[in-house]
Structure 1
Amino acid sequence: MLILLSPAKNVNEERAAGRAATTPRFLDEAEEIVSVARHWSDDEISQIMKVSSALAKLNRERFSSWSRGGECAAGLLFDGDVYKELELSTFDAQALDLASRRLRLLSGLYGLLRPTDGVQAYRMEMGRRCPGHPAGTLYKFWGTKIARAIADDARAIKTNIVLNLASEEYSKAVDPAALDDLTVISPRFEEERGGTRRVIGVSAKRARGAMARWVLHSDASEAGDLHGFDVGGYVFDSEASVENRPVFVRG
């Protein structure tokens, strides 16, 4: 199966620098977005991205200095809850090669990334507006390109299953109609607290990263293989699950 993850807002440039081994496929598109973003002022970036003035200044500087030759490996650059559980830095060469073939990171700026793709530090969340570009939003800008690339990558590894571990914001960037005959499986991670079961945001993010790592290390390939996921105390709940929406719960 091909695994999808969202990027993270926090980055670790020192860890990722010089570790890139492959080139993003959508560099032309990334350059087009940056060419527009370079005209945004600090105040505009603050409003578009909902960030502080300090972070707006940082991102304006990043757009100003952006180039196509990124040297940071995408999978090592992102540093949020998902990636702390994925722990890509602990993968040996063989495991990293497998991740390069089976793991894809959705990106507002780069579209779709392999974990080994060379990027520069950036912040460009998929759900934001893109003023100054005719598309108006990143969803419209990317259209079906991301989904078509996912379909191509799934065919390349001879699978018809996509394991969607991305957030809702990023999942919306994948047009289902452009996925051909692929089956998309989107797990749900719940916790039971005081007799009530619900999704806890931070815990779910960690579970998504842990499942991505587990799938890669266990070489799970079929939908039924996911039922064995038990990292962090989660267990598969067959009664709560529906087709292509497996539910995992922990107390």
Structure 2
Amino acid sequence: MIVLLSPSKTQNFQDQPPLEDQSEPLFREEAREIMLHLQSFSPRDLARLMKMSDRLAGETAEKHRHWTAEETPRLQAIYAYTGEAYRSLDVPSLSRAELLHAQNHLRVLSGLYGLLRPLDAIRPYRLEMAAPLGPGGTKNLYHYWREKITALLTQERSPFVNLASLEYSRVITPEDLPGRFVTPLFKEDRGSSCSVVAVHAKRARGRMARWIITDRPERVEDLQSFCADGYRYRSDLSEPDQPVFVRTAPG
């Protein structure tokens, strides 16, 4: 079983754990090509490209300018990302055996790096997959990455549990993958309706990713037993490749 996650915009390279177990990104040459393209963008260009403030665009341009420098910090992706899903994944509490299991069963989709394993060492960057950037003469990052990522995933273990956001998962062509491509949904029951609340769904994806790493379910049907944070499987709302988990909306 392979779990797919989105990266997070927020990253922390300051409190670095020892780089004992680490690997190199599989698409590091492609990442370098994209970064060289990004380095030609001024802060104002970056602000328009990624719809960010002038302050954040200046900080991002500075990160990118130093990206290839030897002294630029590197950190395993699973530690570097600090968004909601990764807080729920609670990486510091995973054992080394669980981290090594995650290395074989968890993949992070990235606008810069394409596809990352948890222990791949990365450098600070900011680039959303949906950013209108076309490196190497391509139309956009989806066009740049789709065949590369899909081809690599065809070599992985199926089924695939897609816990990535739509922005990232749409880079994959599921029909070209071996085995099933399953996308769990996490909803809040507000009495009259059930709906997806983005921030809670991100946390739930992280919790499920952690559960898969620690409990190691083998079949898609085994996902139905996931019950963290009050979520329960709802067969009446689910489809074979889209299991739905619902919890009562927090008061």
Range of TM-score over shorter length: over 0.9
Please tell me whether the aligned partners of residues 15 and 77 of structure 1 are also in contact (alpha carbons under 8 angstroms): no
Q: For 1:137-179, what per-residue CA distance to the aligned partner results, in whole angstroms no more than 9, with x for missing partners? A: 111111311111122132xxxxx20000000000011122432
Q: Over aligned residues, Cα RMSD in angstroms?
A: 1.6
> How many Å apart are 1:133 and its aligned residue?
4.2
**What secondary structure is seen at the aligned counterpart in 2 of 1:238?**
coil
Q: Which amino acid aligns with 2:181?
A: V
Identify which range, 114-123 or 169-178, moves more after superposition: 169-178
Shift of 1:185: 0.5
Aligned to 1:195: 192
- TM-score where L is the length of structure 2: 0.93
Instruction: Specify which structure has the higher proportion of strand.
Output: 1
Residue type of the partner of 1:241?
S
Contact persistence 1:16–1:74 (CA under 8 A): no
Q: Quick check: 2:89–2:207 contact (8 Å CA) kept in 1?
A: yes
Q: Secondary structure at the match of 1:239?
A: coil
Q: What's the secondary structure of 1:163's corresponding residue?
A: strand
Is the Cα–Cα contact under 8 Å of residues 95 and 216 in structure 1 kept in the other structure? yes
AA matched with 2:195 = R
The residue identity in structure 2 corresponding to 1:112 is L
2:87 pairs, out of 84, 89, 107, with: 84
Alignment-derived partner of residue 135 in structure 1: 138
Structure 2: unaligned runs, 5 residues or longer: none
1:220 corresponds in structure 2 to 217
Which position in structure 1 is the counterpart of 2:114?
A: 111
Q: Distance in 1 between matches of 2:147 and 2:67?
A: 25
Does the residue aligned with 1:23 lie in a helix, a strand or coil? coil
Q: CA deviation at 1:55?
A: 1.1
- Structure 2 partner of 1:15: 15
Count of equivalent residues: 245
CA-to-aligned-CA distance 1:200-224 (integer Å, 9 cap, x gap): 1111000000000011111111011
Task: Give the TM-score, by structure 1 length.
Answer: 0.93
- Quote the residue 1:157 is aligned against: none
Structure 1 unaligned spans of 5+:
155-159
Distance 1:117 1:68, change over 3 A: farther
User: How far apart are residue 65 of structure 1 and its match?
Assistant: 1.1
Displacement of 1:106: 0.5
Q: Is the Cα contact below 8 Å between 2:34 and 2:135 reproduced in 1?
A: no
Corresponding position of 1:210: 207
Question: Are 1:67 and 2:68 matched, yes or no?
Answer: yes
Give distance in 1, aligned partners of 2:136 and 2:147: 17
